[in-house]
Amino acid sequence: KNQVEQSPQSLIILEGKNCTLQCNYTVSPFSNLRWYKQDTGRGPVSLTIMTFSENTKSNGRYTATLDADTKQSSLHITASQLSDSASYICVVSALGSASKIIFGSGTRLSIRP
């Protein structure tokens, strides 16, 4: 069964600190993996997209890694800011129909001043 699991479910850190969010998946055959940021009450916004051959991709203070062998991805946020408070969603696409885009339940990140 194609699944995407994220951890932790929620996380609270102090402003300026770093954090890492985890995503494990069992989607097969794998096509790509994306990380999205979703502010409360808003639509998700794309942060990174990685294919099988890519191990890491950065977008400003966000760095995503992908280990296709262990089927794990992480999103590292450096020097967190209050505006980073949001849900971070891991999305994995499988080859096949469009329904093979599987969303994780997200990690709710709260940054405290």
Partner 1 sequence: GAGVSQSPSNKVTEKGKDVELRCDPISGHTALYWYRQSLGQGLEFLIYFQGNSAPDKSGLPSDRFSAERTGGSVSTLTIQRTQQEDSAVYLCASSLASREDTIYFGEGSWLTVV
Cα–Cα distance for residue pair 56/74, rounded to 1 Å: 9
Q: Closest separation between CB of residue 17 and partner 1, Å? A: 25
* Cα angle value 107/109/113 (rounded, 5°): 175
Residues 70-109 that bind partner 1 (CB under 8 A): 89, 93, 97-101, 103-106
Q: Let me know: does 77 contact 62? Beta carbons within 8 Å.
A: yes
Q: Closest separation between CB of residue 84 and partner 1, Å? A: 19
Cα–Cα distance for residue pair 75/77, rounded to 1 Å: 7
- Judged by beta carbon, residue 17 or residue 42, the one nearer partner 1 is 42
- Residue 34 touches partner 1, criterion: CB under 8 A: yes
Q: Closest separation between CB of residue 41 and partner 1, Å? A: 8
Class of residue 38 by CB neighbours under 10 A (exposed 0-12, middle 13-18, buried 19+): middle
- Judged by beta carbon, residue 22 or residue 31, the one nearer partner 1 is 31
- Residue 46 touches partner 1, criterion: CB under 8 A: yes
Applying CB under 8 A, the span of 14-22, 42-50, 55-63, 70-78 interacting with partner 1 comes to: 42-50
- 42: DSSP letter: S
